[in-house]
Amino acid sequence: MRLFVKQCLRMPVSKIPAQTTNSCFESHLFMPGFLTAVDHTLGQADAQSRVSTFLDQVQNQYQDMVSSWTGEWEENKLNFELTAMGMKVTGVLEVLDDAVLVGGKIPFAMMMFKGKMENTMREELRKLLA
């Protein structure tokens, strides 16, 4: 899985193979979008526990920028929707045995922030899963 994720991260989200199964990629093959992944060695259950706690902290930390947030876990996938700066962002965070994947859809007006969003998510997840 790690090799596949690394290969996917080198290509635009719209080019990720449609035959991908059991991952956040399968429902988010579109542009504009964001996509990031972080490897870990914690196992799925421990990583998911950390991510769940972390999301509560992030929600409180960015409450001045995020006006609404909803998310629902379906096993190891969190389908989420938030409104930031008056714009809706939707996505999926998936916790695997050896990686956490986050992909989603952002409005075209937010594309200038895409790189910063992906880098911030990646760095925060790396710290969390270390």
Using DSSP, state whether 114 is helix, strand or coil.
helix
Which whole number is the average pLDDT over 104-114?
Answer: 89
Q: For strand 66-74 and strand 33-39, is the pairing parallel, antiparallel, or unpaired? A: unpaired
Q: ∠18-19-22 over CA atoms, to 5°?
A: 105
C-alpha to C-alpha distance for 17 and 19, rounded to whole angstroms = 5
Per-residue pLDDT, 57: 75
Q: pLDDT tens for residues 67-83?
A: 888 889 999 999 999 88
Q: pLDDT tens for residues 40-59?
A: 999 999 999 999 887 777 77
Per-residue pLDDT, 63: 80
Phi, psi at 8, each rounded to 5°: -65, -35
Which whole number is the average pLDDT over 8-25?
Answer: 44
Residue with tokens 């929707």: 81
Residue ranges and CATH numbers for the domains of the chain are 2-129 (3.30.530)
What contacts 109, CB < 8 A, 6 or more positions away? 87
C-alpha to C-alpha distance for 93 and 51, rounded to whole angstroms = 9
